[in-house]
Amino acid sequence: PVPAWVAFRVALPPMQRPTGGASSAWQGGWIFGGTQLRGEFPLELSEGVQVASAIAYVSGVGCFSFSVNGQRLAGGGEGEPGGSFLDPGFSTVPTYRLLYRAFDVTTLLRKGSNVVGARLGQCKFGYLRTFCEGADAWKPACRAFVLQLNVKLSNGQGMNFTSSADSGAWRVTTEGNPVFYAHLFHGEMYDARREQPHWDEPDGPPLVEALWQPAVAYDRAGDLGALSLMTMPAIAVTERRSPRRIYQAPAAGLRSVVNPTLLSMQQQRETSEQFAVLESWRKLEDAGVAKTWVFDFGQNWAGFATLKVAGLPAGTRLTLRYGEVTAKDGSVFNAYCQAGCAGPSFADDMLGNAANQTDVYIVRGGGAEETYTPSFTYHGFRFIGVEGFPDEFRPSPDTLTALWLRSDLPTNGHVHFSDDRLRLLNSLQTAVIYTQGSNLHSI
């Protein structure tokens, strides 16, 4: 027999309980009109009275990022990532049942003015048999938001703040949203020049009024299913990695860009201005990019990266291409599914793979450090190739941090072999964990 010790650890998973318990009957109304929303409400507290509990119940058509008084509870964007991602959880038939999240915001509320902020993305809603499939996924009706904030005071009184088009408390913008393209698999485009600092805080600078309009009542609310509390673990960042090595490779350009619909470019322009972004994406290839910096993180998983840069000129376009392998020349390869893999009609509108796995960040400029994490996409990768850095720029290990994104399930079993002849089994165990975790999203 092989002289070795084997250690096993097995535990039953804990019961998942919703934060704050179930909500009372829904009073919040569905609102839309833009991809970024801001709601402001007063909280009047008498002397000696405090907030005993405050639970925010939130859902969206598509998915949402969410903040209270500037504290991000869900999603990425500017600054460090916070909380969960791709909320609410995946619902197979959202016209029958749509999930919502419960957030405990007791410690975030304050006396006086309070602000709720949200951004909306497509996520999985456009893949289902709903009114938002295919080309329709970019219509305004495919982004909507609903919130009910139940507040209980220390004197026993209670109050609600809800999403409503009639209250005048809610405003929306699309032009003021730095996320101007997002697709669950293709990627996200973020223009930091469009950021409005502290827009989701009560004491922030005045908003650019021309970019904001009153929210309107969502006219497809009757087509949505019943709201059901999400009890599965949220999708969250569960591990971070710095690059093992950073090296230069020949410029690859955007060798593969995919339309998220089966339409021609002309039809896309007629459908939405956002499709003009795709055309500009296509033209990035050979657009003066001299080289690619490749970051090797040494582990294949699902997620994305946090980008940190400083001192780059405003308008610098950084293109992050995610891939599981590299080409012979060392550049990141992600053209896994060549044109024709989904039929001739699909091939006509493809320039490469079926999951573009490309994020674009446009630098704000000004010299200060800029930090960005995607909100509404994720990728399978070990390598990230970054194009667009100036020739004199030299990235550091802090430039990119890889984030493993999955349902935040506990690891309930482990096995380890001490004998050198069985170390391969330890590697197999690690591979199984990362493979399983990278395919667990809303499970």
CA 113 to chain centre: 28
CA 248 to chain centre: 28
Q: What is the pLDDT of residue 20?
A: 35
Say yes or no to pLDDT of 23 above 70: no
Cα radius of gyration rounded to whole Å, the chain: 23
Residue 208 has phi, psi (to 5 degrees) of: -75, 100
Say yes or no to pLDDT of 277 above 50: no
In degrees, to the nearest 5, what angle opens at C-alpha 77 toward C-alphas 275 and 292?
70
Closest to 358 measured CA to CA, from 277, 240, 248: 277
Residue 271 has phi, psi (to 5 degrees) of: -75, -45
Task: Answer yes or no: are the C-beta atoms of 50 and 155 closer than 8 Å.
Answer: no
d(CA 274, CA 47): 50
Q: What is the pLDDT of residue 295?
A: 97
- The string of pLDDT tens digits covering residues 349-371 is 333 445 789 999 999 999 999 99
Q: Provide, rounded to the nearest whole percent, the portion of the chain with pLDDT above 90.
A: 58
Mean pLDDT of the chain: 82
- The string of pLDDT tens digits covering residues 173-210 is 999 999 988 888 889 999 999 999 999 999 989 999 99
Q: What is the pLDDT of residue 79?
A: 64
Say yes or no to pLDDT of 253 above 80: no
Beta carbons within 10 angstroms of residue 103's beta carbon: 22
Count, residues in the chain = 443
132 versus 207: the higher-pLDDT residue is 207
- The string of pLDDT tens digits covering residues 401-432 is 999 999 998 888 888 888 888 889 999 989 99
Confidence of residue 148 (pLDDT cuts 50, 70, 90): very high
Q: What is the pLDDT of residue 336?
A: 58
127 versus 324: the higher-pLDDT residue is 324
Say yes or no to pLDDT of 261 above 80: no
Q: What is the pLDDT of residue 127?
A: 58
Q: What is the pLDDT of residue 341?
A: 42
d(CA 297, CA 242): 6
Say yes or no to pLDDT of 246 above 60: yes
206: Cβ–Cβ under 8 A, 6 or more apart, which residues?
Answer: none
d(CA 38, CA 17): 29
Q: What is the pLDDT of residue 255?
A: 43
Q: What value does the mean pLDDT take over residues 163-177?
A: 94
Closest to 294 measured CA to CA, from 208, 376, 377, 382: 382
Q: What is the pLDDT of residue 37?
A: 97
- Residues of 395-418 as b/e, b for ≥16 C-beta within 10 angstroms? beeebbbbbbbbbbeeeeeeeebe
Q: What value does the mean pLDDT take over residues 47-51?
A: 93
SS (H, E, C) the chain: CCCCCEEEEECCCCCCCCCCCCCCCCCCCCEECCCEEEEEEEECCCCCCCEEEEEEEEEEECEEEEEECCEEEECCEECCCCCEECECCCCCCCCCEEEEEEEECHHHCCCEEEEEEEEEECHHHHHCCCCCCHHHHHCHHHCEEEEEEEEEECCCCEEEEECCCCCCCEEEECCCCCEEEEECCCEEEEEHHHCCCCCCCCCCCCCCHHHCEECEECCCHHHCCEEEECCCCCEEEEEEECCCEEEEEECCCCCCCECCCCCCHHHHHHHCCCHHHHHHHHCCCCCCCCEEEEEEEEEEEEEEEEEEECCCCCCCEEEEEEECEECCCCCEECCCCCCCCCCHHHHCCECCCCCCCEEEEECCCCCCCEEEECCCCCEEEEEEEEECCCCCCCCCCCCEEEEEEEECCCCCEEEEECCHHHHHHHHHHHHHHHHHHCCCCCC
d(CA 305, CA 403): 5
Say yes or no to pLDDT of 9 above 90: no
Say yes or no to pLDDT of 343 above 60: no
